Chain A
């Protein structure tokens, strides 16, 4: 009982943009083979924030509306994917708001089609413009401390550094730089992009990230709903490990059992 109490006491609520979340797992909704897999993944993981994108309607064929598969109480985080500069990101955000699904925006400005790396300079501009207009702004960025500081000044509610290339499943290639953001930035750090396995999400949380977003890793797994649950649990485990104040790594062996009182001692 005492242990449980300590765990509860040391946990701080995950608050962002004026909302409090129980789950620290954000799920992207792209690339799912079918909408049922998506709906089941949302349910099994308990995620409370999902990302969606805006696109032209395909006038030639009827597509199922993705919003029908997302529970009403879920916070919809609309990304600005497709935007190549700040102005295009602002235009997409305004369209999203017009649709009446809140004002949470993941700023994603990309003009590099090979590596899909975010344009940090344009991202800062978009963050400032959209915050001024009253949007809740979560910028996706290449982990750079100076840029993160500018994003804080621009009014972001969270910083979303990439772990590795979008959709690559390579994990935390930028680990050292994400750690700097965690240490220095007084906003929730949400690791986004490239997280390919629950163990990598767990590691990000052990480092002190506030949350993790995954999409490709879930959508392209053999059983999306099961891996979504695994992500949620790994993120919880990583969070607990972080709160427990992890033990220090050492270069030398340090026995776990006492070095005295051996049975064979004379």
Chain B
């Protein structure tokens, strides 16, 4: 199935939860913030959040800024 991740279309396996997806795409998930369809998903709920086709996911972290 396809989802939009950080503005780009990505193909992922069906029935994937957020926790395993983040583990796959982010080498260090310590400071990752996840927003699924405009709703922030708390870290301890990542494994319960199953992704659906057409979902919009934002994976965010801190960077340098003034």
What is A's interface to B at a CB cutoff of 8 Å?
Answer: 28-32, 38, 51-57, 59, 62-63, 65-67, 78-79, 81, 94-96, 98-99, 101, 166-167, 193, 213, 215-216, 219
B6 & A56 in contact (Cβ 8 Å cutoff): yes
In chain B, positions 12-34 with a C-beta closer than 8 Å to chain A are 25-28, 30-33
B25 & A55 in contact (Cβ 8 Å cutoff): no
Q: Which residues of B contact A213 (CB under 8 A)?
A: 66
A-B CB proximity, top 3 nearest: A53-B65, A28-B66, A215-B66
B65 & A56 in contact (Cβ 8 Å cutoff): no
Total interface residues on B, CB under 8 Å, equals: 24
A67 & B31 in contact (Cβ 8 Å cutoff): yes
CA distance A56 to B8 in the complex (A): 11
Q: Which residues of B contact A38 (CB under 8 A)?
A: 64
A30 & B62 in contact (Cβ 8 Å cutoff): no
Residue in chain A with minimal CB distance to B32: A57
* Distance between B60 CB and nearest chain A CB, rounded to angstroms: 5
| Known pairs A57-B6, A57-B26, A59-B25; A67 contacts B62 (CB<8 A) | yes
What is B's interface to A at a CB cutoff of 8 Å?
Answer: 5-8, 25-28, 30-33, 35, 40, 42, 58-66
| Known pairs A56-B6, A57-B59, A98-B40; A51 contacts B66 (CB<8 A) | yes
CA distance A99 to B41 in the complex (A): 11
Q: Would you call the interface of chain A mostly helix, strand, loop, or mixed?
A: mixed
The contact of A54 among B5, B26, B61, by CB within 8 Å, is B61
CA distance A167 to B65 in the complex (A): 11
B65 & A99 in contact (Cβ 8 Å cutoff): no
**A-B contacts, 25 listed (Cβ < 8 Å):** A28-B65, A28-B66, A29-B64, A29-B66, A30-B63, A30-B64, A31-B64, A31-B66, A53-B65, A54-B63, A55-B60, A55-B61, A56-B6, A56-B7, A57-B25, A57-B32, A57-B59, A59-B59, A65-B30, A67-B62, A79-B65, A98-B42, A167-B66, A193-B66, A213-B66
